[in-house]
Structures are given as structure tokens and as C-alpha cells.
Amino acid sequence: MDHRPEARAKNDTFCIPYYLEVAMRFARALTLATLTAFSASCQSKQEAQPAAPAPAAAPAPAPASDKIVIGHVGSMTGSEATFGTSTDNAIKLAIEEQNKKGGVKGKQLVLKTLDDGGKPEEAAVAATRLVTQDKVAVLLGEVASSRSLAMAPIADSNQVPMITPTSTNPRVTKDGPKTRPYVFRACFIDPFQGTVMAKFATEKKITKVAVFRDVGNDYSVGLADFFTKTFQELGGKIVVDESYKAGDQDFKSQLTSIKNKKPQGIYVPGYYTDVALIARQARELGIKVPLMGGDGWDSSKLYEIAKGALDGSYFSNHYTDEDPSPVVQDFVKRYKAAYGAVPDALAVLGYDAALVAFDAMERAKDLTGPSIRDAIEQTKGFQGVSGVITLDADHNPVKPAVVLGIEKNKPHYAATISP
Ligand code: PHE
């Protein structure tokens, strides 16, 4: 949940009639979308594929359109805006490259992106709209676990496959004990990510840790728990477990309680805007120990806001631009040429999620939801930029993680940890 006043002003529309809200949302989506996406939205109204699956025995239905619409739900605005924009940039790049190679099954791909402002309820509205109105073949998104959790039932009930690039909470692909048939991801999951930092801290001889979690964020709560479990199993002690809510501005009382317990490190598995503020306030209180976190730290804004307060800190992530492998370096070059910036993990995984979708659509017997779903489920040994993707029974790839250390207000590769 976003409690920031500016986010509230921008996003809270409960006092506005529903039709106006929809019109506003539509206008916002249009200004954000590319011209290509605009033509896609126009086209998809008359020509797109039916969402209903063909009976299994029937021959592949004749293509209803010469275009394939890909839907993306992302936080293009709000306090996690870099998550959505990096992902969207990378998906656009993937589509452009694929179209140059002839598209998928001879059809060109078009992108329709909807902004959820960083809110789970908006992510659900956006997913519903992409599925029912724009008739997308595949949904890409969301980045954040809380928002993917809101979208997942919509993908399942409409039989439209959804691939989240980066949502790491294990529950995203699960419906209670069973695997959600239409939901997949391109990244590792948090039981592993929590273990990565627990092992790393233990190797650094850090044995007393304070946990500081965002209680309104499924990702943060899950990762804090997974870290705690492994860290304790490895003999470490959690000296205090404090909480905050995304958008809080003053963290001093929790940080004072943390300081009093004299931890050797503080585990803060939150998103970049809050983490950077927490780091600054910790340093103001004279807390010098490293902060540790997860992939939610990954944003150029982290460093802009922290202004050096995170030097000496560490976080786990999906990729590093220092990886010398040609697949990575080649992608970094192409992304930089397109957007003038080094891609972050969101970009890398947004690109990989799109590629997994294209590969599956190419292999699928037709372009109905159930056929694309079957093909995604069969993804094996797919070479992405973030590593090789083979989906397990829970629709999760098993991939190594990297640990990045922050020095002089910049991230540097520190270690690779394999599952
Ligand atoms: N893993 C985070 C989540 O599940 C999202 C995230 C991934 C953020 C990668 C930044 C980088 O909520």
C-alpha cells in the first residue's frame, strides 16, 4: 500500500464516479503508451484473438488478426516507478527485436501497457481490462509480488497466461497447495533469495542481525521470514524484528530500538525509496553497521536518494552488468543504445519474460490461451539474459543469485550464490 501523500493525490480516485475514473485511467495509459501500442489497442478491438480456448481436438483456429497483442501491467508512476519503466523499456526492446526477425508465427507483436500506480487493486483492474477488452495473448507483469498476487486469479480465470518477470514471493504461482495453471515467472523465488543473504552474512561473520520489514508488502514479509529461518539455522541470532509501512517518512523510533540491540547488520527487504530513506536516517542516528536487502533495492533512484548512506551495504539480485558473459554484455549494449542507461535487473528480467513468451507462442500449436500456456510450461533450457530458464512443477525457474556490495554510492559485484 502506498501511503505517500503525493501518491495518494495522484492515485486515490474513490470520490470520482467510476466512468470518469475509467476515462482518466484510459487517458493516462494512452499518454504512456507508444504509438505502436496505440495502434494495437485500436486494432485489437476489432480483430484480436478470441480469449476462449478452442476445443482440444479441433484444428488450430484461423488467425483472427495479423497482430499479436502483448499486455504489460506495471508501476509506471508512484514510488516504484523505476520498476515499471525499466520493465516496459525492456519489453519494448524485446518486441522490436522480435518483429525485425519476423515476429511470432509470422505475425507482428504490439504492446499494450497499463499503469497501476504501484497499487494491487489497480493492477487487478488493469489485468482485467487487458484480458477482456484488449484480448492480449499473454500478460507480462507485475514486478511486485503484492500486485502479481492481485493479477494471478484473473489470469487463471480468463485462461490467459501471465509471466511475472520479477515477483519472487512463492505464493504468486500458487493457489493454496496447487500450482496456478496460467501463472509463471522468469525469476528465482524468495526461500532461495532469503537463504542467499543469510549465507552471505554468516560468511561475513555477522551473527547478530536486526530485521526491518515492510508489513504491508507480501514480498518484504515473506523475504524477512525466509531470511530469518535460514540465518537462525546457520546459528545466527535475530536481535530484534521491527516493521514499517511503505511511504513512511520517519523511521527513527524503530531505528533507535534497533540501535539499542547492537546488531552487526540490519536486514531490510524493502523497495528502494523506503530503503534509501531508512539508510539515511540510520546513519543520522550513528548506526554504522551494513544494511542488507534483496532485489527490491535495485533502482538507480536508490543511490540518488541514499546519497552514500548505503556504502558498505549488500543486497541480493538477479544479475550484474559486470557479468562478462557475451549474452549479458550484448544486452547491456543494446539496452544502452536504446535508452542511454545501464539496464537494471527489472529490465533484464522484463526482457527475459517477454522472450519466454515469444518462444512459447512460436512453439504453441495455436495462439489460444491454453495452447500458449502448455508451451510456456514446457520451457526448458531457454537461454535468457539472466541465465538459463527451465520451469519447475511450480512454474519457477531455478537460477543462481548475485550479491552486490555498495561502495562510493555504486553497486559492485561481490558474489554469486547457486541454489
Ligand atoms: N522481487 C520483488 C517482489 O517480488 C520485486 C523486484 C524484483 C523489485 C527485482 C526489484 C527488482 O516484490
Q: How far apart are CA 323 and CA 310, in angstroms?
A: 22
pLDDT averaged per 10 residues in sequence order, the chain, 419 residues:
37 34 41 37 36 46 75 96 97 98 98 98 98 98 98 98 98 98 98 98 98 98 98 98 97 98 98 97 98 97 98 98 97 98 97 98 98 98 97 97 98 95
Give ∠ CA 379-385-386 in degrees, rounded to 5. Answer: 80
CA of 368 to the centre of ligand 1 (A): 29
Looking at residue 241, what DSSP letter applies?
E
Question: Three-state SS string across 316-349, please?
Answer: EECCCCCCCCHHHHHHHHHHHHHHCCCCCHHHHH
The residues spanned by each domain of the chain are 64-188+323-399, 191-317
Candidate of 86, 143, 321 to mutate for ligand 1, largest count of ligand atoms within 8 Å of Cβ: 143
Distance 271 CA to ligand 1 centre (A): 8
Cell numbers found for residue 234: 546457520
**What is residue 46's predicted lDDT score, i.e. its pLDDT?**
35
- pLDDT score for 64: 57
Secondary structure (3-state) at 2: coil
Cell 489497442 maps to which residue? 41
- In this structure, whether the domain defined by 64-188+323-399 belongs to CATH 3.40.50.800 is answered with no
Is 11 near ligand 1, meaning CB less than 6 Å away?
A: no
Distance 83 CA to ligand 1 centre (A): 8
Asked if residue 220 has its Cβ within 6 Å of ligand 1, the reply is: no
Q: Ligand 1, atom 10: nearest CA belongs to which residue?
A: 296
Ligand 1 in contact with 145 (CB < 6 A)? yes
The closest-lying atom of ligand 1 relative to the alpha carbon of residue 168 is 4
pLDDT of residue 113: 98
pLDDT score at 7: 37
Please state, in angstroms and rounded to a whole number, the distance separating the CA atoms of residues 159 and 272. Answer: 34
For domain 191-317, the CATH superfamily is Response regulator (3.40.50.2300)
Q: Ligand 1 centroid vs 48 CA: distance in angstroms?
A: 31
The CA radius of gyration of the chain, in Å to the nearest whole number, is 21
**Cβ burial 276-312 (10 Å sphere, 16+ → b, else e):** bbbbbbbbeeebebbbbbbbbbbbebbbebbeebbbe
User: Which of 82, 167, 223, 274 gets mutated to test ligand 1 (max ligand atoms within 8 A of its CB)?
Assistant: 167
Domains 64-188+323-399 and 191-317 share a fold: yes
Strand duo 208-214 + 265-267: pairing? parallel
Residue of 295, 297, 344 to mutate, ligand 1, most atoms within 8 A of C-beta: 295
Contact by Cβ (8 Å): 390, 379: yes
Q: Buried b / exposed e across 142-165, counting CB within 10 Å, b at 16+? A: bbbbbbbbbbbebbbebbbbbbbb
| SS3 label, residue 181 | coil
What pLDDT is stored for residue 60 in this prediction? Answer: 46
Q: List, in order, residues 6 or more apart from 243 with CB less than 8 Å away.
A: 212, 213, 214, 215, 254
What's the predicted TM-score (pTM) here?
Answer: 0.85
Distance CA 89, CA 335 (A): 8
Nearest to 418 by CA among 316, 298, 293: 316
